[in-house]
Amino acid sequence: MGDFSILNIKDHLIERHVDLNLHKPLLDDENISAIFLCYNLSGQLCGYQRYRPLGDKKIFNNPYHGRYYTYRKQQTVTVWGAESYFISNGPIFITEGIFDAARITERNCSAFAMLCNSPPKDYKNWLQMLARPTIAICDNDQAGIELSKFTDFYEIAPDGDLGSSPNDYVSYLLTKYASL
């Protein structure tokens, strides 16, 4: 991803394909972190994910030391990328993480990050109510396969996850599912 000692968080997010105009993360250059706000489709703030590229990925959901910290209001379907719902009328791509979904939204297609690989069961009903086809782009591991149970179609990212996949794979996905 580059040398974080010389990268600021804005440049880092752009490098990771985040459309800063669409998603509007809160940036903290001093602590090299970003907060991604999560909404429901009614526009209500339901949670957030703090991303610290220098944080330890092995420390799970710790706001001070972990790479990712996610907070969700209980009993609320919370996704990142709800603002992309209105980009197109085509299918909605469902991913585990923000940087996976950002690969889709940067190309003017709708994508939601579930911020986990096994969402609560009420997410499946919520996705069905959207009345648009859903395609899970699953990480290439056993945990990633869990996400496939929530959507109409699924693909397994061959390079581990969509966020680190080559541009031609992202183009292939968008072309394959464009007619849905």
Q: How confident is the model over 101-132, as pLDDT tens digits?
A: 999 999 999 999 998 877 777 888 888 888 89
Do 68 and 115 have their domain in common? no
Q: Which residue has the tokens 């996905």?
A: 173
CA separation (Å) from 79 to 162, 169, 171? 17, 24, 23
Say if residue 32's pLDDT is above 50: yes
Do 68 and 125 have their domain in common? no
3 belongs to a structural domain:
no
CA distance 114 to 98: 8
CA distance 32 to 49: 14
DSSP-derived letter for residue 59 is S
Do 116 and 168 have their domain in common? yes
Which of 47, 72, 97 is the C-terminal boundary of a domain?
Answer: 72
Q: Which amino acid is at 96?
A: E
pLDDT at 2: 45
Q: Which residue has the tokens 């996400």?
A: 147
Q: What is the CA radius of gyration of the chain?
A: 15
pLDDT at 5: 57
Beta strands in 13-62 (DSSP E): 26-28, 33-39, 45-51
Beta strands in the chain (DSSP E): 26-28, 33-39, 45-51, 68-72, 92-95, 110-113, 134-138, 153-156
Could you give the maximum distance between any two Cα atoms of the chain, in Å? 45
CATH of the domain at 90: 3.40.1360.10
Q: How many domains does the chain have?
A: 2
144 belongs to a structural domain:
yes
Look at residue 135 and give its three-state secondary structure. strand
Q: How confident is the model over 38-64, as pLDDT tens digits?
A: 988 788 899 999 999 999 988 888 888
**β pairing state of 153-156 and 134-138:** parallel
Give me the domain span that covers residue 27: 9-72
Q: How confident is the model over 146-177, as pLDDT tens digits?
A: 889 889 999 999 888 999 999 999 999 999 99
Predicted confidence band of residue 6 (pLDDT cuts 50, 70, 90): very low
